[in-house]
Amino acid sequence: MRIRTVADELSLEDDLVIAGDNAPVLEKLPEGAFDLVYMDPPFNTGQPRRRDTVAVRADSGSARIGFGGRSYSSRLLQTLRYEDRFGDYLDFLAPRLRRIRKLIAAHGTLYFHIDYREAHYCKLLLDEVFGRDAFLNEIIWSYDYGGKPRRRWPAKHDTILVYVRTPGGHFFDAEAVEREPYMAPGLVGPEKARRGKRPTDVWFHTIVPTNGREKTGYPTQKPEGVVRRCVAASSFPGGWCLDPFAGSGTLGAVCRQLGRRFVLIDSSPTAVEVMRERLTPERECGALASSCLQLSS
Ligand SMILES: C[S@@+](CC[C@H](N)C(=O)[O-])C[C@H]1O[C@@H](n2cnc3c(N)ncnc32)[C@H](O)[C@@H]1O
């Protein structure tokens, strides 16, 4: 894997992490080269996205009382943050999407990850850029974590809009996707229940576990399990995948696991450092996560 900037020559000889605004970088990448583009842009929440990593230890001299009535103190180890406020969100996305469409191979697919605030506006934009007939799926990723307001239905899903480069001509390997248990295994025969079912367009999947192996501490990091389904279904082994808003490099980690090649771009120097750490093979998985508590806002 090589770390590059837009000033460097960019060729697909090795996996790449590219530091910088994705707009000029996308211009330098070869057209038609990618089986899959997964993109998870900032959701335009209007707030900076921030995650603090805090080390907690027992401290009999502290007034802070935690689980089991034991007193503890905490120390801030690091703060990872990026801005998430755009004057005109669709004007920001549109030129990038136009270029991304050209980078996708004739058999290729775009997975566009967004939340309820902007999903409907983005759907209209994607229809315009890719064509309505190129729309393949609306995937709902349902999770269950965090606060639940009492005056409305708690929002606990993201939307992944899926578009293909060539309507009817896309690659999709349904058998490559891991099966999941039937909701009511008693309604199917024992053989079917044992094999499980192919996932539908509603994916129930936990967020990145707080102290799991894959946790990097980067704000809004997406779970590998969700991205793995996209990569397994819509890219060839050995094929190239692109993430222009790569954050902690989840797409790269999944590509490594599934034997795909990757190009990851992010404008945040912190994200690039997190990716360097995560995707360097010698990384001791989970070393940070196992000893720290992650707090996000
Ligand atoms: C929602 S996060 C991506 C999280 C990622 N999917 C993961 O699993 O860690 C969005 C990322 O887009 C990056 N970003 C925002 N504007 C950008 C731009 N113009 N060019 C490149 N990256 C950008 C931010 O720095 C942030 O890391």
DSSP annotation string for the chain: -EEEETTS---TTS-EEEES-HHHHHHHSPTT-EEEEEE------SS-EEEEEEEEEE-TT-S-B-GGG-BEEEEEEEEEEE----SSHHHHHHHHHHHHHHHEEEEEEEEEEE-TTTHHHHHHHHHHHH-GGGEEEEEEEE---S---SSS----EEEEEEEESSTT-----GGGSPPB--SSGGGS-HHHHHH-B---SEEE-----TTSTT----TTPPPHHHHHHHHHHHS-TT-EEEETT-TTTHHHHHHHHHT-EEEEEES-HHHHHHHHHHHSTT--TTHHHHH-EEEE-
Q: Closest Cα to atom 25, ligand 1: which residue?
A: 268
Residue pointed to by tokens 């576990």: 209
Distance 66 CA to ligand 1 centre (A): 34
Average pLDDT, the chain: 88
Q: Which long-range contacts (CB under 8 A, 24 or more apart) does 234-240 make?
A: 234/35, 234/36, 234/108, 234/109, 234/111, 234/170, 234/171, 234/172, 234/173, 235/35, 235/36, 235/171, 235/260, 236/35, 236/171, 236/260, 239/34, 239/35, 239/36, 240/12, 240/33, 240/34, 240/35
Residue pointed to by tokens 């999770």: 143
* Nearest one of 231, 232, 253, 252 to 243, comparing CA atoms: 252
pLDDT tens string 129-178: 999 999 999 999 999 988 999 999 999 999 999 999 999 999 999 999 99
* Nearest one of 248, 215, 296 to 47, comparing CA atoms: 296
| Whole-angstrom distance, CA of residue 255 vs CA of residue 259 | 6
Distance 109 CA to ligand 1 centre (A): 20
Task: Record the tokens describing residue 112, joined without a space.
Answer: 């566009």
Q: Which CATH architecture has domain 2-44+85-296?
A: 3-Layer(aba) Sandwich (3.40)
To test the ligand 1 pocket, which listed residue (81, 112, 224, 266) has its Cβ within 8 A of the most ligand atoms? 266
* In contact, 214 and 243? CB cutoff 8 Å: no
Q: What is the pLDDT of residue 47?
A: 64
Residue type, position 49, single letter: R
Edge-to-edge strands of the sheet including 240-243? 2-5, 16-19, 261-266, 240-243, 34-39, 104-114, 157-164, 135-142, 202-204
pLDDT tens string 202-218: 999 999 988 788 999 99
* Atom number in ligand 1 closest to CA 96: 19
To test the ligand 1 pocket, which listed residue (245, 264, 272, 294) has its Cβ within 8 A of the most ligand atoms? 245
* In contact, 139 and 159? CB cutoff 8 Å: yes
pLDDT in tens, the chain (297 residues): 999 999 999 999 999 999 999 999 999 999 999 999 999 998 776 666 666 665 656 777 776 665 566 666 666 666 666 565 666 889 999 999 999 999 999 999 999 999 999 999 999 999 999 999 999 999 999 999 889 999 999 999 999 999 999 999 999 999 999 999 999 999 999 999 999 999 999 999 999 988 788 999 999 999 999 999 999 999 999 999 999 999 999 999 999 999 999 999 999 999 999 999 999 976 544 433 333 333 333
